[in-house]
C-alpha cells in the first residue's frame, strides 16, 4: 500500500502530465489516506486567460452537491423536524406535481434515493434572487409523473431542488446560507462557493466544451440556473474542501472542532442501500440516502459524480479503509484522467479494482428490436430508436431546452444487444459506451420507458 509520502510524490510527478496528455484544460485532485490529505493540480483554469490551476482553485462539483443537500436534509431528521417516511406535504404543503395522488404520497426518503417518479430534468430559470428555489417549486405544479412513487430508480435533479426548498422552509433561510452555516463553517472549509459571487473571490475554473476543431474552448456560460442549486447547478470548491466534507462522514459526523454535524447513526443510515439499479454506464449497483454505492471485491465503495457546463467532478470513498479521492476537471477527456489517476490510486491504496465501464459484446446476439422502436421524450431530449434497411438499430438523441441552449449537439449512436432488455452503443461517447435499458410494456407489447440513469417515457 502506498504511504502518504509516496502518494504525494506520485501526484507531483505524474498528475500535471496526465492532465495534459488527456487534453483536459485544467484539473485538481485531493487524496485522503491515513488521516492526511494530499493534493495536486495541473493545467489552466481557462484556455482564454491561461491562469494556472492550483490546489487552491475552485471547480464546480455539479451533482456531488446532492450529497451536501442530503446532509442538510438529514440534519433536519436529526433535529426531529422531518420524518423520512411521512408525506413530504407534511412539511411542504405547497408541493404538487401533475399527478395529485402521487404528490400527496411522495416522501422525503423517496426524493433522497431518486424513486419519486416525476420528471427529473427540469431546469427552469427562476431568476437570481433568494426566492429562486421557492419560485421553482411553484413552477413544477404540472410536471408529469412517469411512474408510481417508489417503483423504479430514475435520477432526479428536480427532486433535489424540492429537497432544497424543504431545507429553506424548515431553516427559515436561503439554501446557500444554510449550506455555509451548517456545513462549510463548522467543517472549517475556506473555499466553498455556493454561487459565482463567492467563487470570483478565488481562482475559479471555467468549463470547456469542444470547439469546431474538437479542441476545448471556454463555455459560454459559467453556471446553470440558481433555481437548481440544491441539485448541483453552481456549487464550487477545492478538491481539499470536498474531502473535508468526506472526513466528517469518516469521523461519524463530527467536525474538526468536535461539534456534531450529523449523528453517528445518521452517517451509517445514509450508506444503507435503498434501491437497486439496473446495470448502467458508470453508475453504482445501488443508491442510499444521497450516496451512490457499489460492492466491489467484498468492500463497499461509495461516492458520486457531477457534471455542469464543461466541468466534471468525481468522488470515491471507501469507509473501511479511510480512503477518499476527489477529482475536479474543466473539460477534455475527464474519464481518461479518472482512470489514470482516481481509479489507479484507489487500487493502490485499497486493493480495490474499480470495474471497467460496460463495453459491447464481441459477438452481439441478434434480437427483434420491435418492442424498443419509437420515440421517447422528456424536457431536455427527444430520443428516437429506429432500424435501418440493413437491420442495424440506431438511437438519435436531440437536445432541447437548456441542453440545447448551452451548446448540446444531436448525437446518433448504433446500438447492439447488451443483456436482457438492454442495448449498448457500439461507439463510445466521451469515452464510455452508453447502456439503454428498456423497461415496462404497454398493451401492444412496446417498451414504456428507456432508462439510461434517468427514465424517459415513450412519447
Helix (H) / strand (E) element for 324: namely strand 323-329
Q: Are 213 and 113 in contact (CB under 8 A)?
A: no
Which residues contact residue 101 at a Cβ distance below 8 angstroms, ignoring those fewer than 6 apart? Answer: none
Q: Are 253 and 267 in contact (CB under 8 A)?
A: yes
Q: Are 60 and 307 in contact (CB under 8 A)?
A: no
Residue 43's closest CA among 206, 236, 221?
A: 206
b/e map 415-436, b = 16+ CB within 10 Å = bbbbeebbbbbbeeeeeebbbb
Asked about 9 being catalytic, the answer comes back as no
Q: Which of 63, 227, 281, 286 is catalytic?
A: 63
b/e map 171-197, b = 16+ CB within 10 Å = bebbbbebbbebbbebbebebbbbbee
Q: Cα(457)–Cα(243) distance, rounded to whole angstroms?
A: 37
Catalytic residue positions?
Answer: 63
Amino acid at each position: 500500500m502506498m504511504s502518504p509520502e509516496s502518494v504525494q510524490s506520485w501526484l507531483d510527478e505524474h498528475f500535471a502530465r496526465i492532465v495534459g496528455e488527456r487534453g483536459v484544460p485544467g484539473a485538481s485532485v485531493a487524496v485522503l489516506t491515513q488521516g492526511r490529505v494530499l493534493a495536486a493540480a495541473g493545467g489552466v483554469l481557462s484556455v482564454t486567460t491561461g491562469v494556472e490551476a492550483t490546489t487552491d482553485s475552485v471547480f464546480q462539483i455539479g451533482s456531488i452537491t446532492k450529497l451536501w443537500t442530503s446532509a442538510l436534509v438529514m440534519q433536519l431528521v436529526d433535529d426531529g423536524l422531518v420524518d423520512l417516511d411521512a408525506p413530504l406535504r407534511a412539511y411542504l404543503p405547497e408541493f404538487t406535481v401533475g399527478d395529485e395522488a402521487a404528490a400527496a404520497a411522495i416522501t422525503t426518503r423517496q426524493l433522497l434515493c431518486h424513486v419519486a417518479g416525476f420528471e427529473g430534468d427540469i431546469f427552469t430559470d427562476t431568476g437570481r434572487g433568494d426566492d429562486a428555489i421557492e419560485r421553482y417549486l411553484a413552477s413544477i405544479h404540472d410536471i408529469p409523473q412517469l411512474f408510481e412513487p417508489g417503483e423504479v430508480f430514475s435520477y432526479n435533479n428536480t427532486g433535489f431542488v424540492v429537497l432544497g426548498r424543504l431545507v429553506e422552509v424548515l431553516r427559515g433561510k436561503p439554501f446557500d446560507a444554510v449550506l455555509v452555516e451548517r456545513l462549510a463553517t463548522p467543517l472549517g472549509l475556506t473555499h466553498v462557493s455556493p454561487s459565482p459571487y463567492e467563487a470570483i473571490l478565488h481562482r475559479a475554473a471555467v468549463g470547456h466544451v469542444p470547439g469546431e476543431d474538437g479542441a476545448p474552448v471556454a463555455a459560454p456560460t459559467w453556471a446553470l440556473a440558481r433555481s437548481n442549486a440544491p441539485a448541483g447547478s453552481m456549487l464550487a470548491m477545492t478538491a481539499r474542501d470536498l474531502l473535508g466534507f468526506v472526513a466528517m462522514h469518516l469521523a461519524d459526523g463530527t467536525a474538526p472542532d468536535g461539534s456534531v454535524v450529523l449523528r453517528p447513526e445518521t452517517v451509517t443510515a445514509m450508506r444503507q442501500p435503498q434501491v437497486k439499479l439496473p446495470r448502467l454506464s458508470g453508475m453504482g449497483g445501488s443508491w442510499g440516502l444521497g450516496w451512490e454505492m457499489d460492492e466491489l471485491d467484498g468492500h463497499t465503495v461509495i461516492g458520486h459524480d457531477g457534471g455542469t457546463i464543461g466541468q466534471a467532478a468525481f468522488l470515491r470513498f471507501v469507509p473501511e479503509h479511510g480512503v477518499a479521492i476527489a477529482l475536479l476537471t474543466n473539460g477534455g477527456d475527464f474519464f481518461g484522467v479518472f482512470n489514470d489517476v482516481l481509479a489507479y490510486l484507489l487500487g493502490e491504496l485499497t486493493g480495490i479494482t474499480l470495474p471497467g465501464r460496460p463495453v459491447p459484446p464481441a459477438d452481439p446476439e441478434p434480437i427483434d428490436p420491435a418492442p424498443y422502436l419509437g420515440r421517447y421524450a422528456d424536457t431536455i431530449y427527444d430520443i428516437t430508436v429506429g432500424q435501418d434497411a440493413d437491420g442495424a438499430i440506431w438511437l438519435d438523441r436531440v437536445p432541447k431546452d437548456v441542453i440545447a441552449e448551452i451548446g448540446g449537439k444531436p448525437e446518433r449512436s448504433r446500438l447492439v444487444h447488451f443483456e436482457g432488455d438492454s442495448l449498448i452503443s457500439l461507439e463510445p461517447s466521451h469515452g464510455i459506451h452508453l447502456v439503454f435499458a428498456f423497461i415496462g410494456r404497454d398493451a401492444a407489447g412496446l417498451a414504456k420507458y428507456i432508462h439510461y440513469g434517468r427514465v424517459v417515457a415513450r412519447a
